[in-house]
Structure 1
Amino acid sequence: MSLTAGLSLPLRRLTMSNSLPSCSKFGARAFSTTLQRDATWGFIGLGQMGYCMAKNLRAKIPADDTLVVRDINQDAMKRFVEEAKSDAKNFGVKEGSWKVEIAECARDVADKSSVVITSLPEPEHVKDVFHSILKGGKLPELEKERLFIDTSTIDPASSKEVANAIHTTCQGRFVDAPMSGGVVGARAGALSFMFGATSKSGELVERVRAILLLMGKKAWHMGEQGTGVSGKLANNYILAINNIATAEAMNLGVRWGLDPKALQEMVNSSTGRCWPMEVNNPVPGVVETAPASRGYEGGFGVSLMNKDLRLAMTAAKESGTPLTLADMARSVYTKVEGEHRGKDFSVVYKWLLGKSQ
């Protein structure tokens, strides 16, 4: 049995039915878009993206609110708390006044928080976290329905499975809200979120949007639960293809004797313009802020791109949708991951250089 299968079984055991129940406590309650003061927020997953997102969240929520963080990396949590003590000064807040707590486990985060945001690498990690939350029984009741916002990029089926487990046990409301913009966007608070939430409650949609805009600049409501991750996989399929095409075109131009910066500027004013060319250019030195200019470090890992491509291909197969370029792209990313694991996915360009020699 796979790890994913093993983790999905406990979630199904916690699901009482396939339909959403009418949870009496919140059935007629309105969702306020006003941020509560003295509230407690939870954030699980302090990876490269999550760490930056959590820092922006702490900076944007009211100073008297508390942020509870959890990650398997103890050093990351300790560093986050220490940085929060000094970061407050940059926002005109008394040093050390921002409240940040370290949680012992995911259940501890959910127990204390009215909003829980998760940012995790793989579907099995998401299932593992929510299984650990739900297996502890009924969470403490709140004045406002507890909101779980998962910003992870996972497959639609897994996202719906977790949502069903949350909803049928009346533990809160689950929303899928993956993001686009990379580490650069996460650091700058300029991410674009695409989220899935029931459209029957416009106030829920606005509540979610208000929270996401604390960490980004755009938040698109894509439709019902599950449509956020579907939209993200469609977007990242385009990104995966564009990244390879950009690397190949830049390699071709350089080998023809073109100045890479001149080529990049021309393409960005022409029909070939795309994010991998303009923002995340794969040639070192062309875009100073791009990972390529710092040894392909600190960006969107090639392993994550390979994972997203795999998820898109699986979802496409389940829906009977042809992806004619997918197999070739997956072959490229698998080879690049084998040689440059841990590097930004624009390292495809460096891999191509090795093949050219």
Structure 2
Amino acid sequence: MSATHQTTSKPRKTLGSLLHLKQQDRIGWIGLGQMGYYMARNLQGHLSSRSLTMNVWNRSPAKSAKMHNHGARESKTLEDLVANSNIIFTSLANDAAVEEIYEILIDLAGQVDHSIIFVETSTIYPALATKLKERIAVMPQHTYLQCPVFGRPSVAKAAKLIWVTSGDEKAIKKLCLYFTTMSKSIIHLKTTDVARACSFKLIGNFFVVGTMELLAEGLTLAEKADVDQEHVLKFIEAFFPTPSWTEYSKKMIQGKGPSSSSSKDKSSSKGKYKEPGFSVELGLKDVGHMRQLALDTGASLPTADLAYNHLMAVKEQGKGDQDWSTMIGSLRIATPPSSARPSSEISAGLYNNSDNNNNSSNKTEDGLESRRVSEDVDSETDTRSEKTARPPAYESN
């Protein structure tokens, strides 16, 4: 994500004479992706009811223009947004985007004569949140909160997110009213350790991806055993009547191919069916963070290892932009012979079948267990397994 092209080359001159912000809250919002847009729109709806507005900035100006239609003020540059905001929310795609944007924000924050509360809502690795808080703490007039959210874009649109808070308690209490305009519940971790909120979010997302892995395996088994998946769905709705189970089950069953109602979408994308929602690429980022956190803490996440490999297989099919529930596609591939185990087994070392008792276990560079494959396993499968078994390490600058 590139933000520098929207800023001036000499921000210190741009911010040389700033208006002193009064006590009244002036909210800025950075990042209008699938989640950020709906969150910002709901917050702006609350502000509009009080005859207030907020400043918005996005890398793609078109998204900011849409928010302008809802009453928001479009900031052309980050300098302008910082100069006119004393509360700034950020909702960004990944660690690299967060680090890039905050590099600019921290520089600009050092030049203003008003205090700013930064509210970071993205899913990032704990070490990055700690790093940002420490950098902002050098300027005691400013505050950094780590407040990730749970929910898909449709949940964000309905203002039913689950909000998680960490950081300065006084600042959190001040902003709770704004949080409620975007969520159905708030979980206060009651800690100033902002890394805890990041770990909490990764644990929550692990339950989500673990559920998807379980559903993908079960629905694939039903399909291969010639059991009507619609009947399985009815069972899930009756026995596990929770939104995550029912929603992802429906997506996986419907994901076998586009329905007749989506034929127009199919033709417009040259036959490629794309489900809206949380993408495979973002899923790989989150699951990679989970696995890294497990390594850093000495925990074991074999389910995440399986899910990572299945998501990677879908990405390698050129479907990285599709909804991450399409991970089931990698399980629908014809079952290989018993002598050639799938890459998920090889990377995670989860199975110890009697046919493979002679396999010896070893450790990869990052500590994840793997097992040697018998000589008749295709070498390409072995190579791919070794690659996908390694979680992407968090790189701090």
Give the structure-1-normalised TM-score: 0.75
Q: Which has the larger radius of gyration?
A: 2
What RMSD over aligned residues (CA atoms) do the two structures have, in Å?
Answer: 2.7
Q: Partner of 1:135: helix, strand, or coil?
A: helix
SS for the counterpart of 2:326 is helix
Per-residue CA deviations over 1:184-218 (Å, capped at 9, x if unaligned) read: 101111111112124xx4x4332233221111111
Displacement of 1:43 after TM fit? Answer: 0.7
Q: Are the aligned partners of 1:151 and 1:179 in contact in 2 as well (CA < 8 Å)?
A: yes
> SS of the counterpart of 1:280?
helix
Partner of residue 170, structure 1: 140
- 1:90 corresponds to which residue? none
Q: Deviation string for 1:137-173 (max 9, x for gaps)?
A: 534344xx52111110001110111111112222521
Within 5 Å, give how 1:6-85 maps onto structure 2.
39-63=25-49, 64-82=51-69, 84=70
Percent same amino acid at aligned positions? 22
Counterpart for residue 245 of structure 1: 214
Q: Is the 8 A contact 1:116 1:149 kept in 2?
A: yes
Q: Is the 8 A contact 1:45 1:70 kept in 2?
A: yes
Cα distance change of structure 1 residues 172 and 62 upon mapping to structure 2, 3 Å threshold: farther
Matched residue, 1:149: 119
Give distance in 2, aligned partners of 1:304 and 1:149.
21
Matched, 1:262 2:231: yes
CA 1:209–1:259 in 2, change beyond 3 Å: closer, same or farther?
farther
Q: CA deviation at 1:355?
A: 4.5
2:177 is equivalent to residue 210 of structure 1: yes
- CA 1:255–1:324 in 2, change beyond 3 Å: closer, same or farther? closer
Question: Structure 2 vs 1, CA of residues 185 and 331 (structure 1 numbering), >3 Å: closer, same or farther?
Answer: same
| Structure 1 residue 38 displacement after superposition | 6.2
The alignment status of 1:332 with 2:332, answered yes or no, reads: no
Question: Does residue 1:118 correspond to 2:86, yes or no?
Answer: no
Where does residue 246 of structure 2 map in the other structure?
A: 278
Q: Distance in 1 between matches of 2:124 and 2:299?
A: 18
- Partner residue, 1:342: 321
Kept after mapping to 1: 8 A contact 2:82/2:108: no
* 2: CA distance, partners of 1:222 / 1:323: 23
CA distance in structure 2 between the partners assigned to 1:165 and 1:347 by the alignment? 39
The Cα of 1:318 is off from its aligned counterpart by 1.6
Question: Does the C-alpha gap of structure 1 residues 204 and 77 become closer, same or farther in structure 2, counting only changes over 3 Å?
Answer: closer
Letter in 1 for 2:43: L
Counterpart Cα distance in 1 of 2:323 and 2:42: 23
Structure 2 counterpart SS, 1:174: strand
Show the counterpart of 1:308: 286
Query: In structure 2, do the counterparts of structure 1 residues 107 and 355 end up closer, same or farther at CA, with 3 Å as the change threshold?
Result: farther
Q: State how many pairs are aligned.
A: 297
The change in CA–CA distance for 1:273 and 1:252 in structure 2 (over 3 A counts) is farther
Q: Which amino acid aligns with 1:155?
A: Y
**SS in structure 2 of the partner of residue 154 of structure 1:** coil
Q: Which AA in structure 2 matches 1:221?
A: H
| C-alpha distance 320-353 of structure 1, shift in aligned 2 (>3 A) | closer
Q: Deviations over 1:272-324 (max 9, x none)?
A: 565542223323559xxxxxx88442201111111011111112222222223
Q: Counterpart of 1:175 in 2: which secondary structure?
A: strand
For 2:66, the aligned partner's letter is R
Are the counterparts in 2 of residues 195 and 221 from structure 1 also a CA contact under 8 Å?
Answer: yes
Q: Do 2:28 and 2:85's aligned partners in 1 also have CA atoms closer than 8 Å?
A: yes
| 1:132 is aligned to 2:100 | no
Structure 2: give runs of 5+ residues left out of the alignment.
Answer: 2-21, 256-261, 266-272, 337-397
Residue 259 of structure 1, CA deviation: 3.6
Alpha-carbon distance change, 351 to 296 in structure 1, aligned in 2, over 3 angstroms: farther
What is the CA–CA distance in structure 2 between the aligned matches of 1:59 and 1:105, rounded to whole Å? 23
Q: Residue 117 of structure 1: CA displacement?
A: 0.6
- The answer to whether the 8 A contact 1:38-1:66 is kept is no
Contact 1:182 1:299 survives alignment (8 Å): yes
Q: Structure 1: any 5+ residue segments left out of the alignment? A: 4-35, 85-97, 287-292
* Contact 2:310 2:328 (C-alpha < 8 Å) held by counterparts: no
Q: Which string of whole-angstrom CA distances, capped at 9 and with x for unpartnered residues, describes residues 17-66 of structure 1?
A: xxxxxxxxxxxxxxxxxxx9964211101111111111111111244212
Q: Give the structure, 1 or 2, with the largest relative contact order (CA under 8 Å, sep 6 or more).
A: 1
**Residue 163 (structure 2) pairs with residue 197 (structure 1):** no
Rounded Cα–Cα distance in structure 2 between residues aligned with 1:164 and 1:236:
26
